[in-house]
Amino acid sequence: MTLSSTEAAPAATPNAERVDRIRAAAQRIRHHALNMGEVQGQGYVGQALGAADMLAAVYGDQLTFRPGDPHWEGRDRFLLSTGHYAIGHYAALAEAGIVPVSELETYGSDDSRLPMSGMSTYTPGMEISGGSLGHGLTIAVGMALGLRAQGSASRVINFLSDGELDEGSTWEAAMGAHHHQLGNLTALVDINALQADGATDTVLRTEPVTEKWEAFGWYTQRVDGNDVGALLAAFDNIAAVAGPVGRPSVILCDTKVGRGVPLLETREKAHFMRIEEHEWQICREQLTAGYGRTASA
């Protein structure tokens, strides 16, 4: 892990039981995502598999919430900017007990509470409708500011993607968060090196991305987003410096699209995957065969 900002000493290594618990949750999130993807035969399955460790760490280790009362005022807020990642978010909401696991099979169907792009009016626990990219962090800044003004101890975590870093509004929000010293705000960026039109570095290069966030005044860490131990350690480092007033924090997470399913890790058209009928079972078997196994390993 690269610890870029200097004010926090690295926290102790997260204990094995905690890491194992979150890794197991991530594995279940991946299985849910495959099952949901099969309902449609296609979709943003690769992103769900890639971000499963981040989502498991957030819901299983970081957020305070009441599963049966998604609007509870004292909850932490998790904002999914990237509406197309909803499949992974629904899997995490099921894992968290906010959405019944049995409902996941309705994903993307007419009248389902789980549309293919995340909608706050449809789904319990979905704080925003984030499909129009570049708005999540702006909303998160407003929420963090509002919560602090109300004297709330709740934090705001915004999940965004590397493609969203192409949006000017993201950087306006980043500047605003630092200006207002939103120590209750964390951005979690999935850097999967991919966008709808191809590789991020060919569409619009965002690197050196760590230095950019640092220059905007954020407490910046960059980790392997498929390494649960590194993710938890990064959150622990934030906890050591966080407060209602202070630097906003960002965890830049390098992930692999399709992580855990070698068949999908090597797909050329990875943004929106078409998966053949006979391949779903292969995907499940590959996932079951070993967490952390990659196409190159």
Binding site for ligand TPP (CB under 6 A): 47, 82, 84, 131-134, 161-164, 192, 194-196, 271
- Angle 259-39-107 from CA coordinates, rounded to 5°: 90
Instruction: Name the residue nearer to ligand TPP (CB basis): 161 or 249.
Output: 161
State in angstroms the smallest separation of the CB of 165 from ligand TPP. 8
Task: Write the interaction track for Mg ion spanning residues 173-202; mark x where CB under 5 A is met and - where it is not.
Answer: -------------------x-x--------
Binding part of the chain for Mg ion, among 102-110, 161-169, 176-184, 274-282 by CB under 5 A, reads: 161-169
Q: Which amino acid is at 110?
A: D
State in angstroms the smallest separation of the CB of 192 from ligand TPP. 5
Which residues of the chain form beta strands (DSSP E)?
Answer: 2-3, 42-43, 77-80, 156-161, 185-191, 194-195, 198-199, 219-224, 249-254, 273-274
State in angstroms the smallest separation of the CB of 120 from ligand TPP. 16
Instruction: Name the residue nearer to ligand TPP (CB basis): 3 or 193.
Output: 193
Which residues share a beta bridge with 195? 198
Contact call for residues 219 and 155 (beta carbons, < 8 A)? no
Q: Which residues contact 44 (CB under 8 A, 6 or more apart)?
A: 84, 85, 86, 87, 88, 116, 271, 272, 273
- Return the C-alpha torsion angle 101, 107, 109, 112, nearest 10: 60
Q: Residue 164 and residue 46: Cα distance in Å, rounded?
A: 17
In a 10 Å sphere around its CB, with 0-12 CB exposed, 13-18 middle and 19+ buried, how is residue 156 labelled?
A: buried
Contact call for residues 164 and 133 (beta carbons, < 8 A)? yes
State in angstroms the smallest separation of the CB of 202 from ligand TPP. 13
Instruction: Name the residue nearer to ligand TPP (CB basis): 136 or 183.
Output: 136
Instruction: Name the residue nearer to ligand TPP (CB basis): 143 or 194.
Output: 194
State in angstroms the smallest separation of the CB of 226 from ligand TPP. 14
Instruction: Name the residue nearer to ligand TPP (CB basis): 61 or 162.
Output: 162
Alpha helices in 190-227 (DSSP H): 200-203, 209-215
Among 53, 76, 162, 254, binds Mg ion (CB under 5 A): 162
State in angstroms the smallest separation of the CB of 53 from Mg ion. 15
Contacts with Mg ion in 256-295 (CB under 5 A)? none
Could you tell which of Mg ion, ligand TPP, none binds residue 223, using a CB distance below 5 to 8 A set by kind? Answer: none
